[in-house]
Amino acid sequence: MTMEYRRVGRAGVRVSLLSLGSWVTYGNQVDEKASVELMAAARDHGVNFFDNAEVYAAGKSEELMGVSLKKLSWDRLTYMVSTKFFWGLPAKFGEGINERNTLNRKYLLNAIDRSLQRLQLEYVDIVYCHRADPNTPLEETVFAMHDIVASGKAVYWGTSEWSAADIMGAWQIAEKHHLHKPIVEQPEYNLFHRDKVEKEFARLYSEIGTGLTTWSPLASGLLTGKYANGVPADSRGSLKVMAWMQDRLTDETRNAAVAKLGKIAADLGCTAAQLAIAWCAKSPHVSTVITGASRVSQLRENMKALEVLPKLTPEVMAAIAQIAEGLAD
């Protein structure tokens, strides 16, 4: 089982096809000891990209990853770390009037400094605008992101859950003013959430070379099949931060489709989760599939998706598409 590495869009840097993210788990299911073990195990499997965000566990996720990286003492050139800004971590004063749900220049320049402190790093490899901000001029955001990269606090910048029109708009502003351009988008991508990656972004790949670091390959765990009979007490879906997802996770129609996918997975000699991750990685536009894990055993199982990739023949892909037809968001 050898890790594959792909370029992030047209950038020269390459990331592992499977990577490790910290959303939900870090600060909720994973403590410092588990974080070190997970990151070490991921690296042993060839993972070189670790995804984070300012808002995850209200900053604790970055802190955990920072402590872990310091303990692991890896050569900085051998791994990549990302973070994201938008939601903010506002102080009580003024209820975060300039630091909540925004991409204004003041907030962004402050946010990168605070994230680097939490991560205990001199720079991050990719910094994302976590959502689009209709209340800040796009030009202001693009100039701020350029300045973050130009200052050496980030190597590249990108977007997360932006529309194709906004991404193209940002790229064109950067092109016009000779600024650092957004090179990557981080969208949700799984069998139940496909349109953005497969349809809306089609022009971006060929025209400006946008790369993708996709999240939620298991549709928040739905594609594992473990929610067919409700929400298990020890699952992610049972966490308070996931309460808003419970109706979606227990949807009967989608769980029936997952059961059919489980049969295909069994025929291929893998789990439904491994099949779902491999399906995401099959897309040539995906630079890396961000996976999550709260235990080393879970991470190792996720990494076995690499063994499934060669088994995804056109016939298998067609069978999967037929099962998932009509179920995409």
In the residue annotation, 56 being an active-site residue is answered as: yes
Of the residues 5, 26, 56, 107, only one is catalytic, namely 56
Site of tokens 């067609």:
318
Q: Please, are residues 234 and 204 in contact by the beta-carbon 8 Å criterion? A: no
Cα separation, 42 vs 20, whole angstroms? 7
Integer CA distances (angstroms), 236 to 102, 110, 149, 255, 277, in order:
28, 32, 35, 16, 17
Q: Please, are residues 142 and 108 in contact by the beta-carbon 8 Å criterion? A: no
Question: What six digits make up the tokens of 76?
Answer: 């900085």
Task: Give the active site residues.
Answer: 56
